Chain A
Amino acid sequence: KQEVTQIPAALSVPEGENLVLNCSFTDSAIYNLQWFRQDPGKGLTSLLLIQSSQREQTSGRLNASLDKSSGRSTLYIAASQPGDSATYLCHCSGAGGTSYGKLTFGQGTILTVHP
C-alpha cells in the first residue's frame, strides 16, 4: 500500500527566502507525482506534474524534483512571497500492486510567508 508523507507539516518564513517542501512515498511504482497548492477554503490548483521518467520540472519560481529510487520529491520555491502562503499537497499515481490507478495524497505542508 502506497503511503505518502509530507515534511514539514507547517513552515513559516520571511519574505524572500528560498524554501524546500518534501514529499516522500513508500512505493516507487508510480506513473507520476503531482504538486498542488490549496488556498484556505478553496479547491486544488495544479502546480507541477513530474512523470516517472523525469528528474525535475520547472515553472517560474517553482522547481520540483523526483528521485524514484529513494522515494522522494521536493518542491523548491525561490524568493518566496506572501502570495505563496497556502497549503501544498503532493500525490502519487500508483502504477503497481494494490495502489494501481489510485492517487495517494500526503497530509500537506501549510506555508506562511510573512512580509
Chain B
Amino acid sequence: NAGVTQTPKFQVLKTGQSMTLQCAQDMNHEYMSWYRQDPGMGLRLIHYSVGAGITDQGEVPNGYNVSRSTTEDFPLRLLSAAPSQTSVYFCASYRVETDTEAFFGQGTRLTVV
C-alpha cells in the first residue's frame, strides 16, 4: 500500500517552460487536491477534485491546470512557468468523513529560473 506517490521530488524549470507534476493514490479516495507551500504562508489550495471527471479551483489556481480522468491520478500542469511559481507542492488524498485522515505526498520542490 503506497499511499500517495508524488513525482518528481525536485525540478528546475526555465521561465516559460511547461511541466506536469504527477500524483497517484491507491486508497480509492474520492477527494484529491494540490497545495503550494511558501514560507510563512502554510499550505494554500490550488485545485481540488471530488471524483473522476470533476475538478474545481482553490485559492490560488492561476497558472495551473488539472484534470482527473481516473480515481487514482490527479496531475498538476504548469502551463508557462513563472518565477512566482517557485514553491513546494504537495498532493493530498482523502475521504470526506469524520474518522478518516488525509494523506499527503512527499512534496515536489520546484524552482523556476
Chain A interface (Cβ within 8 Å of chain B)? 4, 6, 9, 31-32, 34, 41-44, 46, 49, 51-53, 89, 91, 93, 95, 100-108
Listed residue (B42, B50, B103) with the most chain A CB atoms within 10 angstroms of its CB: B42
Query: When chains A and B are docked, how far (Å) is the Cα of A89 from the Cα of B97?
Result: 20
**Residues in chain A near residue B44, CB distance under 8 A:** 105
Q: Can you name the residue of chain B whose Cβ is closest to the Cβ of A1?
A: B59
Q: Of B12-20, B33-41, B60-68, B71-79, which binds chain A?
A: B33-41
Q: How far is the CB of A52 from chain B (nearest CB, A)?
A: 5
A65 CB to nearest chain B CB (Å): 16
Q: Give B94-112 interface residues, CB cut-off 8 Å to A.
A: 94, 96-107, 109
Contact B99 A32, beta carbon cutoff 8 Å: yes
Q: Is A103 a contact partner of B98 (Cβ separation < 8 A)?
A: no
Q: How large is the interface on B (under 10, 10 to 19, 20 to 34, 35 or more residues)?
A: 20 to 34
**Known A43-B105, A93-B94; contact A103-B45, beta-carbon cutoff 8 A:** yes
In addition to A91-B102, A93-B96, A105-B42, 18 A-B residue pairs with Cβ atoms within 8 Å of each other are A31-B96, A31-B98, A32-B98, A32-B100, A34-B101, A43-B90, A43-B105, A46-B101, A46-B103, A49-B101, A91-B43, A100-B96, A101-B50, A101-B96, A102-B48, A103-B33, A106-B42, A107-B41
Taking the nearest CB of chain A, how far is it from the CB of B45, in angstroms? 6
In the docked arrangement, what's the CA distance between A100 and B43, Å?
Answer: 17
Closest to A104 in B: B45
Please, how many angstroms separate the alpha-carbon atoms of A95 and B31 in the complex? 13
Q: What residue in chain B is nearest A31 (Cβ atoms)?
A: B98
Of A44, A107, A108, the residue contacting B104 (CB under 8 A) is A44
